[in-house]
Structure 1
Amino acid sequence: MKTVVVAGNPKPDSRTLDAGIRLARLLGADPPEVLDVVTLGPGLLGWGDPAVQQAVGLAAGADLAVFASPTFKASYSGLLKLFLDQFASGEGLRGVVAVPLMLGAGPAHALAPELLLKPVLVELGATCPAPGLYQLDRSYDSDSGAADYVRRWGATITAAAASRAQ
């Protein structure tokens, strides 16, 4: 099963990226392929950049993709939005099993992955068989949030991704 972590944090090697990798590993990918969107730079501002197109192909070719973002102004990052704008509507992520993951400073935005990130992934053709995951950025690496999520939803997510892989 090909698993890709897409991190849309404006800081390279961020906690967001780390949280995405941790979740992917809990879902059975070791190691997952990693796409730190910030490394694509200004190529995201236009169309046809070869590095961006390669990154789009990597995400579109995944069986399972964790889309991770920090929470900015109660939504996912503009950087992730620029990347997602590179995909064709309705088909760019067709068949990819996607998990929306967001990190934030407090519980007030806990529904952001479900209400804001998941709908755009579905619009691009992804299948999201489970709710999105929200974690506190100060404790994502020490609390049981991701492990609890995988205990509840892991079999559903991996079964969906495995069916694509076949």
Structure 2
Amino acid sequence: MTSLIILSGSPSVTSRTGALSDHLATRLRGDGHTASVVRVRDLPAEPLLHADSTHPKIAEVADAIAGAHGVVVASPVYKAAYSGVLKLLLDLLPQFALAGKVVLPVVTGGTPAHVLAIDYALRPVLSSLGADHIVPGWFVLDRHVEPLPGDARLDQRAAEDLYPIVDAFSEVVRGRHALAVA
């Protein structure tokens, strides 16, 4: 079975990105993967701010990423880029933490103009971390995500657009895993 980590990079407790991360984890589990959501906002602030990659909670996330076959990186857009709290975590990961991984960037924002954050802000960082295969990312308008306890409801159009991307990510992860164990 393939293992996936979803990094939810929103600093907000009532986050549409967080709800969307839970929703994607449920969908990916339904497709036969194990999927864990890591809410970066729940990691201890001091080790993140002081770049302490040896802190047990930070090391635990790095180990989980190392053991995963695929990583979904989800973030709201702030100031034309991904969130600062996500940046803090990504900066603490080992240089090639995403080597051999399939990565799916997912970004939420209030206007379609924010879609550029995927390719101009997030994708370069994921590449610098050695991501083996970054599937085409996807942008979801905030208003298309309704947070629910432990899940989200997407409006029909958003779901019709996002699900094929998530399903393609799932298939790439599964295919690469099958090749690795063959």
**Equivalent position SS for 1:32:** strand
Query: Given the two structures, how large is their TM-score scaled by the length of structure 1?
Result: 0.87
Partner of 1:77: 83
Gap regions ≥5 residues in structure 1: none
How far apart, CA to CA, are the structure 2 residues paired with 1:152 and 1:59? 21
Residue pair 1:4, 1:32 contacting (<8 A) in 2 also: yes
Which of 154, 158, 167 aligns to 1:154? It is 167
How far apart, CA to CA, are the structure 1 residues paired with 2:100 and 2:26? 21
**Equivalent position SS for 1:126:** coil
Partner of 1:61: 67
Residue pair 1:6, 1:59 contacting (<8 A) in 2 also: no
Gap regions ≥5 residues in structure 2: 146-153
Give the superposition deviation at 1:51: 0.6
Superposition RMSD in Å: 2.1
Give yes or no for the alignment of 1:44 onto 2:48: yes
How far apart, CA to CA, are the structure 1 residues paired with 2:36 and 2:161? 23
How far apart, CA to CA, are the structure 1 residues paired with 2:65 and 2:162? 22
CA displacement 1:19-69 (0-9 Å, x = unmatched): 123234444366621100111122212211111110111123211111011
Moved more, 9-18 or 34-43: 9-18
What pairs with 1:121-140 in structure 2 (closer than 5 Å)?
121-140=126-145
Find the structure with the greater CA-based Rg: 2
Aligned residue pair count = 164
Q: Percent identity?
A: 35
Give the superposition deviation at 1:86: 1.0
Q: 1:31 to 1:77 in 2, by over 3 A?
A: same
- Hey, which of these two has a bigger chunk of helix by percent? 2
- Hey, which of these two has a bigger chunk of strand by percent? 2
